[in-house]
Amino acid sequence: MRYAVVIPAAGQGKRMGANENKLMLQLQGKPIIVWTVEAFARDTWCDAIILAIRPEEEPWFRSMLNHIPTPITYVTGGKERQESVRAGLHAVTRDGVVLIHDGARPFIRVEQLRQVAQAGQTGGAILAVPVKDTVKQVDAGQITRTVPRETLWLAQTPQAFPIERIRRIHDEAAAQTFTGTDDASLFEWAGHEVAVIPGDYHNIKITTPEDLLFGEAILTKEDYR
């Protein structure tokens, strides 16, 4: 089996409070995006990596990723993640399964990539983990409801889909100016089912300065090289 992966990497990372693309920030001396791309390069099922970036940052990305053996295609990303993903999907030149993965999720395992890729052959599939904390619904600073957590899961990436179907859905969403919270939500919006593959709590998204600390802690405990 083979798949392509689209990685949106054009964000500014405002919540990180950095003066640069947060994917350029380092964990144990290596940029976040390098950790992420190397995870896919380790998987022989992955035969194409598409990075949606800001054009002015392309020289930096190329210099940081020139050791990656898997072919990398660079496309111009958009102001929003959904635009970047759509641009990446249109750069995929093969049929079959495409994975869509956050550039800021560096802690992904090959076995997880393969599980979600297999599930995405016929429909949508995502990695997710069960909610561990009690969830409160709040309005104006007051709890209005305690939400049963037994059926609540936290969505992660990668998310996998048949390429032609998810590309068409992205085009339809753009035409109707519909914005989803993730690619699975677009798939749901179009009336398709999405399977959930149990993920890993280490598969965090590096979003805030605190997440950099969590990332460093994960790397002291686990080997992702």
How does pLDDT run along the chain (225 residues), one tens digit per residue?
Answer: 999 999 999 977 666 666 678 999 999 999 999 999 999 999 999 999 999 999 999 999 999 999 999 999 999 999 999 999 999 999 999 899 999 999 999 999 999 999 999 999 999 999 999 999 999 999 999 999 999 998 999 999 999 999 999 999 999 999 999 999 999 999 999 999 999 999 999 999 999 889 999 999 999 888 776
Instruction: Tell me if 55 sits within 8 A of 61, measured CB to CB.
Output: no
CA 22 to chain centre: 14
Per CATH, which fold does 3-221 belong to? Spore Coat Polysaccharide Biosynthesis Protein SpsA; Chain A (3.90.550)
The three-state secondary structure class of 67 is coil
Parallel/antiparallel/unpaired status of strands 72-76 and 26-27: unpaired
Write phi, then psi, for 80 (nearest 5 degrees): -115, 155
Q: Model pTM? A: 0.94
Token pair 């399977």 is found at: 195
Domain boundary assignment for the chain: 3-221
